[in-house]
Structure 1
Amino acid sequence: MQLKRVVITGMGALTPIGNNLAEYRKGLFEGQSGAGNITRFDTTRYKTKFACEVKGYYPLAHFDKKSARKTDLFCQYALVVADEALAHSGLLESTVNRQRVGVIWSTGMGGMISFQEEVLNLAANHMNPRFNPFFITKIIGDISSGMISIKHGFQGVNFNTVSACASSSHAIIDAYNYIRLGKADAIVTGGSEAVVTETGIGGFSAIKALSQNNASPATASRPFDQNRDGFVLGEGAGALVLEELEHALSRGATILAEVIGGGVSADAYHITATHPEGAGALLGMQDALNEAGITADDVDYLNPHATSTPLGDESEAKAIERLFGESFGKVAISATKSMTGHLLGAAGAAEAIACVLAIQENKVPPTINCETLDPEINPSFPLVRDKALAKTIDIAMSNTFGFGGHNATLVLRRYQA
Structure 2
Amino acid sequence: MPHPRRPRRSADTTPGLAARRAALRLLDAVLRRGEPLELALHAASQGLADRADRAMVHAIAAETLRHLPDLDALIDAATPQIIPHDAKARMVLRIALVQVLVLGTAPHAAIATALPLVDGGPRKLVHGVFGTVTRGEPVLQNPPTLPAEVAERWAGQWGEGMPLAAAHAYAVRPPIDLSLRDPEETAMWAERLGGDSFAAGHVRLPDMPNVPQLPGFADGAWWVQDLAASCPARLLGTGEGRHVLDLCAAPGGKTMQLAAAGWRVTAIDQSKKRLERLHDNLRRTSLAAEIVQADLREWTPDAPVDAVLLDAPCTATGIYRRHPDVLHRIGPRQIAELAELQTSLLARAGQWVKPGGTLVYATCSLERVEGEDQAARFLAENADFSLLPATDGELPQGILPLAGTVRTLPDALAKEGGTDGFFIARFVHG
TM bin (shorter chain): under 0.3
- Select the structure with the greater relative contact order (CA < 8 A; seq sep ≥ 6): 1
> Which of the pair is proportionally richer in helix?
2
> Which of the pair is proportionally richer in strand?
1
TM-score by structure 2 length?
0.26
